[in-house]
Amino acid sequence: MNIASWLEQSARSYPALSAAATGTRVVATYGQLAERAARLAGALREQFGLKPGERVAIVAKNSHHYVELLYGIWHAGLAAVPANAKLHGAELGYILDHSGARVCFVSPGIDSVIAPHAPHSLERLIAIGGAEYQALFTADAIAVVPRAADDLAWLFYTSGTTGRPKGAMLTHRVLAAASQAYAMEVDSVSPGDAILHAAPMSHGSGLYIMAHVARLGVQVVPESGGFEPEEVFALIDAWPRASMFAAPTMIKRLVSCPAECDLANIRTLIWGGAPMYLEDALAALDRFGPRLAQIYGQGESPMTITTLSKEDIADRGHPRWRERLGSAGKPYASVEVVVADSADRPLAAGETGEILCHGEVVMPGYWCNEEASRTALRGGWLHTGDVGVFDQEGYLHLKDRSKDLIISGGSNIYPREVEEVLLSHAQVREVSVIGRPDREWGEAVVAYVVGEAKAAELDALCLARIARFKRPKDYVFVDSLPKNNYGKILKTELRAMDARKTGTP
Ligand code: AMP
């Protein structure tokens, strides 16, 4: 099976339906999109001589072209390597070299970022939308190149909060399984429904393209090519039945944006990719009503490990509604998820350990990295590196990445628990809790805070809500926290900053 066939099928049955839009302007029908993909595939095969299985990179900001590029690449039997356009040239050079891509499509302007770092294997750097790009669509269309379900479709480079990024191999089977899981458990899609791509299409948002192609939805890319809260509200007004994937920080910005929209137009706002603190989830629910869903996943099991449904989030009458809201939901029907001890033995509900998962949606391994693949997939289970605990009703509560766990005086302290408490102070905007090496305690709890709250107030809040040993020993007030391009707080960087500040090794 080639996932490109979903577009062919949609175009054959409803060629005149809208397939892609920039802002409020429809730029392609299904018939036009399928034809462009088939012609691009022809150019990639015939003009560039690329053979099935070869990789083609996309280093682009969000634009409607993303959709035709992905489908053109798959139609030709090739694998796409979407990379974050905000990465440094050297990081992009590494991904291009490691993936062995001979062709790379780039947003205008990014070519000059890549050029000094381009590996020898890269033959062509093509500016999206330029004359060379447009000429590709005059090539003769070809038929979809057959692929096996286990052939590579998307090489997903992890966001690399530490070390070199690794390329999670997402096959046609993985993409199909993730899309089906989405349509079955997160958000039903009907013809004409919109998906707003305000989050990076190289990452989470892009993984929702396929379900919407199969179900004849419209891919709507903001004019700005990114996330501007006012524009998102305007697009929701323009597109009845719109859904959007957003990182928690984006949801937070939407909540605090004074602009309004017709909330009835929102199908689902899906958050995930990083922790959403309870206070923020409550505020989002107050603002948007029963239209929020949560997903927990990672590049290695794309967007699909557990999900907290719209119904669970909105079920205020349930006796354990708040606890559920603070969880990451239940495993998708297609994924087996366990919490295991350090010897990979499954633990009972209530016991904390590493989250492992397995199923059709899990990658078969990392590209050209057997050692990392063996480690991540030992025993046939993906080791997520996330720590969590199932409650009695099967909801997974995420703690922290195992490397972020603080061990102080022999006790385990999960930073998130302390962060939740600190964030409940009205004058704390952002917070991140880390461990600082300490002679006496092994590690001492330190809170980095953005906001006007006083240390003494925060200390009192902790005393009232959590065990004494979990209280931060030091509060550091800063203007901002180090984040990666997806808005995730970089604890590794924060620990390094802290070490420089205190002179600890
Ligand atoms: P990435 O592979 O870059 O998408 O990062 C995946 C990681 O983000 C996961 O392993 C988790 O640590 C974190 N993450 C993803 N979804 C959630 C969520 N819903 N809540 C908390 N953390 C999440």
Structure tokens at 425: 């102070």
The residue nearest atom 6 of ligand 1, judged by CA position, is 298
Residue 326 Cβ < 6 Å to ligand 1: no
What 464-469 contacts at long range (C-beta under 8 Å, 24+ apart), as own/partner pairs, is 465/421, 465/424, 466/417, 466/418, 466/421, 469/408, 469/409, 469/411, 469/413
**CATH for the stretch 5-390:** 3.40.50.12780
Residue 18 Cβ < 6 Å to ligand 1: no
Tens of each residue's pLDDT in the chain, 505 residues = 999 999 999 999 999 999 999 999 999 999 999 999 999 999 999 999 999 999 999 999 999 999 999 999 999 999 999 998 988 888 899 999 999 999 999 999 999 999 999 999 999 999 999 999 999 999 999 999 999 999 999 999 986 555 678 999 999 999 999 999 999 999 999 999 999 999 999 999 999 999 999 999 999 999 999 999 999 999 999 999 999 999 888 998 999 999 999 999 999 999 998 888 898 999 999 999 999 999 999 999 999 999 999 999 999 999 999 999 999 999 999 999 999 999 999 999 999 999 999 999 999 999 999 999 999 999 999 999 999 999 999 999 998 777 788 888 777 888 988 998 999 999 999 999 999 998 888 899 999 999 999 999 999 999 998 888 899 999 999 999 998 877 788 898 999 999 998 886 6
Cβ 72 vs Cβ 97: under 8 Å: no
Report pLDDT for 439.
Answer: 83
Closest CA to 337 of 389, 270, 372: 389
Cβ 335 vs Cβ 319: under 8 Å: no
Residue 401 Cβ < 6 Å to ligand 1: yes
Residue 388 Cβ < 6 Å to ligand 1: no
Report pLDDT for 159.
Answer: 65
The CA 277 to ligand 1 mean position distance, Å, reads: 13
Q: Supply the pTM of this predicted model.
A: 0.89
Atom from ligand 1 closest to the CA of residue 401: 12
Pairing state of beta strands 25-29 and 18-22?
Answer: antiparallel
Cβ 449 vs Cβ 426: under 8 Å: no
The CA 296 to ligand 1 mean position distance, Å, reads: 6
- Substitution candidate for ligand 1 out of 201, 269, 386 with most atoms within 8 A of CB: 386
CA dist., res. 457 & res. 429, Å (int): 15
Apex CA 40: angle with CA 38 and CA 45, to 5°? 95
Query: Where would I find the beta strands (DSSP E) of 341-391?
Result: 353-359, 382-390
Cβ 325 vs Cβ 292: under 8 Å: no
Query: Where would I find the beta strands (DSSP E) of 241-381?
Result: 242-246, 266-272, 292-298, 301-308, 330-331, 335-340, 353-359
Report pLDDT for 112.
Answer: 93
The CA 438 to ligand 1 mean position distance, Å, reads: 29
Q: What is the CA radius of gyration of the chain?
A: 23
CA dist 327 → 44, 271, 422 (Å) = 45, 13, 18
Residue 245 Cβ < 6 Å to ligand 1: no
Which DSSP symbol is given to 117? Answer: G
CA dist., res. 304 & res. 292, Å (int): 16
Report pLDDT for 505.
Answer: 62
Which DSSP symbol is given to 102? Answer: S
Computed from CA positions of residues 8, 13, 16, 21, in that sequence, does the dihedral angle turn out positive or negative?
A: negative
Q: For the chain, percent helix, then strand, then coil, each to nearest 5? A: 35, 25, 40
What residue ranges do the domains of the chain occupy?
Answer: 5-390, 406-502
The residue nearest atom 9 of ligand 1, judged by CA position, is 298
Report pLDDT for 163.
Answer: 62
The residue nearest atom 21 of ligand 1, judged by CA position, is 275
Report pLDDT for 405.
Answer: 84
Question: Which residues neighbour 367 within 8 Å (Cβ) at sequence distance 6 or greater?
Answer: 98, 99, 152, 155, 166, 167, 168, 169
**CATH for the stretch 406-502:** 3.30.300.30
Task: Report phi then psi at 175, rounded to 5.
Answer: -65, -40
